[in-house]
Amino acid sequence: MAHERILVVDDGRENREFIIKYVLQPNEYRAQEARDGIECLEIVRRDPPDLILLDLQMPRLDGMGVLEVLHRERLEIPVILMTFHGSEDIAVEVFRMGVRDYLKKPYTAEEMLNAIERSLAEVRLRREKEALTTRLMNANRELHIRIKELNTLYSIGKSVTALLDLQQLLVRIVDAAISLTNAEQARLLLVENNALTLRALKLRGDSSARSTTEVVQDRLAERAVSTARPLVLNAQQLEPLRQMNPAAPYAALYVPLLIGNAVIGVLNVENLTQGARQFTDNDAALLSALGDYAAIALENARNYHALETLKAHKAPSVAMPNAIGRVAQPPELNSAARREISVLVADLRGFSAYAEQQTPEQALRVLNAYLSLAAQVLSQHAATFDKASGDTLVAFFNAPQQQPDHLLRAVQAALALQAATGQFNAQHGMEGLAFAIGVARGEAIVGGVGAPPNVTYAAVGEPINIAYRLQESARAGQTLIEESALQQLGNRVLSRKLGEVQMRGRRASVVVYEVQQLL
């Protein structure tokens, strides 16, 4: 039962009692009474019912008078008219004024109940429609919020991963955490020498974040490190902590920073004001996504800093060839054009773990050997080198010289690099090092990038991003390609479908294949 409220308006007490006792109460409707039209309008104006059962002939104000007032005051309440003196003219007039049904006295309880159900059916449908519309509007509003959050996260992620200066990066991560969660303060702690070190923070009231180096003990951060899972704490859960320390927060969120399965640090946001917003699972998801960006950026910055330090302090006997320099750089540095290209992104998996077990000089010699091997293979397939960052390199095809078979060239180069790496490992007894490769095709801007005298020929656009994401999803020794690009190769390639992959930075998932061999 819907438990609608029904107002019975009749000057006859017996009629009112009959309807309430034998129709409304047994069917769990809520009943109200009025003895004439004046009492009816007082109740309607104060608290409109769901349905009015209205007698036609009453003292002070009759049923027709009530209908006229309802119509004039735009009080759209369904009405069932009850009368001893029915006529066709009266029926036409009352239906014109919005009456839903018309019952002649005497009537049975069943007749009255059927009339009520018919009249309330439209009310119920309207309510369902209004509720559905409200839910739809709320869902749309929530969707817009999520889209705005994802766009903000993507923008922040791009700015974070572009930084190579470690101090700037630490501060930017903390600022980004506050921006993303609207927190009052944030901290970044890194695991260094088996201890948690506070490396950047922005406290409530600070105008900007700042870097620091302070070993701290934080039981909650340690739990996030040990479990490798986000930790969301509300005011009630933090109450025991505030009893020991009045400065403790009323809401806290800790997310671990992960590289593979290793936790390298913790990102923490807090609200210290009583009654402040509590963090949600959605906040945890957003901050975890930022943590992924931050962990990658921190690793890149550390690798870059280590390589720069090696270059600045290298021993004279250490050979450091410009491995990538052998990939031809084109002369068209003063022009820019939009062109379809194919992109190859290769990352040397296992090198970070290998480098930790070697001297810096030995690690650099090995890295250069693999990059030299990649440069040789790419050169053989007429690739244009874009850039190298640590153990990751990017090359593209069909610019500046046109190559009608540029996608096929990119796939051939990827497979050739995998084969050459396997041979190199066998000859030199190397284990655990192999390239993970992503290949993509699409339209990009190609031309000179940078400020003189450091202008280089490079590509900017969606295919570079896709190739990066595919490479991130690939295992060592794998070459991944998107379904739409694979279809353009026809039957030239033997591949294995891996399924749908949700790429970071893209709203829709893509179908990914592993390239196995050329046919």
Three-state SS string over 80-98 comes to EEEECCCCHHHHHHHHHCC
Domain membership of residue 315 (yes or no) is: no
For residues 81-98, give the mean pLDDT. Answer: 68
Domain membership of residue 219 (yes or no) is: yes
Q: For residue 489, what is the DSSP state?
A: T
Rounded alpha-carbon distances, angstroms, from residue 25 to 119, 196, 493? 18, 68, 76
How far is Cα 505 from Cα 337, in angstroms, rounded to an integer? 25
Domain membership of residue 395 (yes or no) is: yes
Mean pLDDT over each residue of the chain, to the nearest integer: 83
Domain membership of residue 104 (yes or no) is: yes
**Parent domain of 501:** 323-518
pLDDT band at 76 (very low <50, low <70, confident <90, very high): confident
- Residue range 128-164, pLDDT digits in tens: 887 787 788 877 776 766 666 666 666 666 666 566 6
Final residue in a domain of this structure, among 301, 335, 357: 301
pLDDT at 2: 56
Angle at 64 between CA 32 and CA 27, to 5 degrees: 30
The domain tally of the chain equals 3
Environment class of residue 257 by beta-carbon count within 10 Å: exposed (0-12), middle (13-18) or buried (19+)? buried
Whether residue 483 sits in one domain with residue 348: yes
Whether residue 189 sits in one domain with residue 44: no
CATH number at residue 182: 3.30.450.40
Instruction: Please identify which residue in the block is written with the tokens 């009749």.
Output: 10
Whether residue 328 sits in one domain with residue 295: no
Share of the chain above pLDDT 90, in %: 36
Domain membership of residue 504 (yes or no) is: yes
258 contacts 264 by C-beta, under 8 angstroms: yes
- Residue range 221-266, pLDDT digits in tens: 999 999 989 999 999 999 998 888 888 999 999 999 887 778 889 9
Instruction: Pinpoint the alpha helices (H) of 20-108.
Output: 37-46, 63-72, 88-96
Question: pTM of the prediction?
Answer: 0.41
Domain membership of residue 30 (yes or no) is: yes
- Residue range 103-127, pLDDT digits in tens: 888 888 898 899 888 888 877 887 7
Angle at 238 between CA 236 and CA 244, to 5 degrees: 125
150 contacts 507 by C-beta, under 8 angstroms: yes
Domain membership of residue 310 (yes or no) is: no
- Residue range 370-413, pLDDT digits in tens: 888 998 899 899 899 888 777 889 999 999 889 999 999 999 99
Domain membership of residue 316 (yes or no) is: no
